[in-house]
Amino acid sequence: MDKIYDLLIVGGGLAGIAAAIYAARKEMKFAIISPEFGGEIANTTYVENYPGFASIDGKELAQKYVDHMKSFENLEIIEDAVTEVKKEGNLFWVTTYGGTFKSKTVIWATGSKYKSLNVPGEEELKSRGVTYCSTCDGPLFKNKTVVVVGAGNSGLTSAIYMKDIAKHVYLLNKNPTIKGDPVLVDRLKDPKVTIINSSRVKRIIGEKKVESVAIDNNGNEELLHVDGVIVNVGYLPITEPIKGMIEFDSFGYLSTDNKQMTKVPGFFAAGDVVNNPYKQLVVSASDGCVAALGAYDYLISQKHH
């Protein structure tokens, strides 16, 4: 394939979409590669911290991003998944299931995937009571008892959503106090919600489906009889295809400079794959913007050299 892009954006979440909008405005020769578009926010019931929208359904917000991106005529979309990225000379070779593409710069904006508990029974009972997405699977637990594991903002949001569906919700918090936003904690004040601090899951029990969860509650083992386990204990950055080409920090994230460029010249990163303590939509949008403008500046500087 002889075509050489100025930029390839990998990832269809907000970081990648924001990068695509700015790349289109700069009239770069670029494409965005992702098997799907909209990102993880499409699985969220409501968003109340994105400027311009006091409250909006996550799916609706994701669709607005996608529609905005698709409004540009110079946009090329490649609906595929990237399997490998290599750099040879000044060019990046980006391989997908469908082919290989060459580009002068890359923005890696693949986001993250749900982190597992890594406890006995979790793997065996996935999709049989164990889930990582309350919006996707919450309705399956109507009038049943569930345990939400994790009391960060995603766990709190999940528990708030589930209290209107389930008969009872247990919220497990590994810390002595909840560290999520107070406004979310206030919404959990409900007889249907039991918060258990300083607790962890030891194992998930069930034959054909989840029947109970053994927890460590302040050093004592307890058994909770539940129908579902909703895991919200954080995320892992999606970086498998770039292993070997680039170094990660001790947590598996990418480090970038103030233009979102990694230590590999011409290779940029944006959104939840970046070493940033705040995994927020506005941060991802900002990263995508900066990365696209950074890639544009990099290409100009290379021409001058």
For residue range 169-220, what is the model confidence (pLDDT) as tens digits? 999 999 999 988 999 999 999 999 999 999 999 999 999 999 999 999 999 9
Domains of the chain: total: 2
Mean pLDDT, rounded, of the chain: 95
pLDDT of residue 40: 85
Sign of the torsion angle spanned by Cα atoms 153, 158, 117, 218: positive
CB 199 within 8 A of CB 221: no
Domain endpoint, select from 231, 261, 295 = 231
| Strand residue runs (E) in 66-162 | 77-78, 82-88, 91-96, 100-108, 112-114, 130-131, 145-149
Of the candidate ranges 38-47, 56-65, 182-191, 207-216, the one whose mean pLDDT is the lowest: 38-47
CB 227 within 8 A of CB 129: yes
For residue range 219-274, what is the model confidence (pLDDT) as tens digits? 999 999 999 999 999 889 999 999 989 999 988 999 999 999 999 999 999 999 99
Entry pTM: 0.84
Domain endpoint, select from 184, 216, 231 = 231
At residue 87's C-alpha, the angle toward residues 303 and 296, to 5°, is 35
Spell out the alpha helix ranges (H) of the chain.
Answer: 14-25, 58-70, 134-137, 153-163, 182-187, 281-304
Do 128 and 83 belong together in one domain?
no
Whether residue 305 has pLDDT greater than 70: no
Q: 131: domain CATH number?
A: 3.50.50.60
Do 40 and 173 belong together in one domain?
no
Cα–Cα distance list, 222 to 126, 270, 299 (Å):
22, 42, 59
Do 126 and 227 belong together in one domain?
yes
Do 11 and 91 belong together in one domain?
yes
Domain extent for 202:
116-231
CB 109 within 8 A of CB 131: no
Amino acid identity at 81 = A
**Chain centre distance of CA 197:** 26
Do 93 and 162 belong together in one domain?
no
Q: Would you tell me the crossing angle of helices 14-25 and 281-304 to the nearest 10 degrees?
A: 40
Q: How far apart are CA 305 and CA 301, in angstroms?
A: 6
Among 204, 193, 260, which Cα is nearest to 23's? 260
Domain endpoint, select from 184, 209, 231 = 231
Q: How far apart are CA 285 and CA 69, in angstroms?
A: 13
Do 32 and 90 belong together in one domain?
yes
Do 177 and 121 belong together in one domain?
yes
Do 30 and 121 belong together in one domain?
no
Q: How far apart are CA 254 and CA 246, in angstroms?
A: 9
Q: Are strands 4-10 and 100-108 parallel, antiparallel or unpaired?
A: parallel
Tokens linked to 64: 């607005």
Do 120 and 224 belong together in one domain?
yes
Whether residue 1 has pLDDT greater than 80: no
Whether residue 140 has pLDDT greater than 80: yes
Q: How far apart are CA 29 and CA 99, in angstroms?
A: 18
Of the candidate ranges 101-110, 191-200, 271-280, the one whose mean pLDDT is the lowest: 271-280
Hey, which residues are catalytic here? 133, 136-137
At residue 25's C-alpha, the angle toward residues 100 and 2, to 5°, is 25
Do 94 and 71 belong together in one domain?
yes
Do 225 and 241 belong together in one domain?
no
Do 8 and 147 belong together in one domain?
no
